[in-house]
Structure formats: structure tokens, C-alpha cells
Amino acid sequence: MSGPGPSDARGGHAGAEWFAAPGQSTPGEAGLRFSCTQCGNCCSGPPGYVLISTSDAAAMSARLGLTTDEFERRYTRRLREGWSLNEVEGAHGFDCVFLDRHTHPGRAVCSIYDVRPAQCRTWPFWPSNLKSPESWARAGRVCPGINKGPLYTPVQIRVQRDAFNI
């Protein structure tokens, strides 16, 4: 299994880090605010993918008490982009196979949160969401946690952004 690695797509980031300017989320402060509301919007919707790396698969399979081969057979599919977690069609569209909408009524929680894949750990600080203030605002229309909660500094944002390229 091969999967996504660290982002090497620095082009477009250097010199264009609008989020490093004061006042993007809070007047006078550099950075962006985010707090997960457990709405599940980032884990469901139209058909898509959650790409996983070999180390992601190993951590998830260990957490579930499965061999990596068994984990891959049960929970993943091969796409052109790499290995992806399966989806389950439901009332909200296509949910990640690990999204739990039943245990905690009114919330959508990840049943493997402690070992969730890099793609999930780095949301919403993906390069595609950080291209411009407009990209960030577009992500905020589906994610109620964007521009709310604790302030992430430009350094924290860069670390997240550069950990996974999507």
C-alpha cells in the first residue's frame, strides 16, 4: 500500500500566506480559528475519498485488533489517488465508514478518532482550503467550526498544511 506523503507543493504558499496577516479571524491577531463541532460535514457528502498511508492503515488496524490485510479488505478500496477508506451511503450522503451518528445523538463522531488518518487530522488546514481567503470562506460554508474556537498561529497552520497535500 502506498499513500499520500508530506506536501511538497510549496508553490503558491510562499509569499501568499494570507492567513499570516493580522485580522483574518480576529482583529489584530495573525492566524485562523477552528474548533470541531462534530457535525460530520467533513466526513460525509458526495462520494469522495479519505486517503490513507501505510502507517495510517497500520495504526487503524492495530486499534481495531485486525491484521493490516484484514483491515484493508474490510475498510478500504484502491483508487487512482491511492488507498481510501470505504464509505457508507446514508441520509447525509456518503459517510466515512468510521463516522458514528448513533452513539451520541445529535453529534457525528469518529469511532477511531485517536488514530484517524492524516487527511482527517489536518482538516481544515489543507492546501486547497488555504489558497486564498475565498477558499477558506468556501470551506467555512460547509464547516461550522471554521472561524470559531481557538486561534491557530501561522506556524501551527503551516505544520498542518504541509503534513498532507490535498
> Using CA atoms, how far apart are residues 31 and 157, in angstroms rounded to an integer?
8
Please say whether the beta carbons of 56 and 71 come within 8 A: no
Instruction: Report pLDDT digits (tens) over 57-100.
Output: 999 999 999 999 999 999 999 999 899 999 999 888 999 999 99
Give which of 125, 162, 116 is closest to 143, Cα–Cα: 125
Instruction: Report pLDDT digits (tens) over 135-164.
Output: 999 999 999 999 999 999 999 999 999 998
State the pTM of this model.
0.82
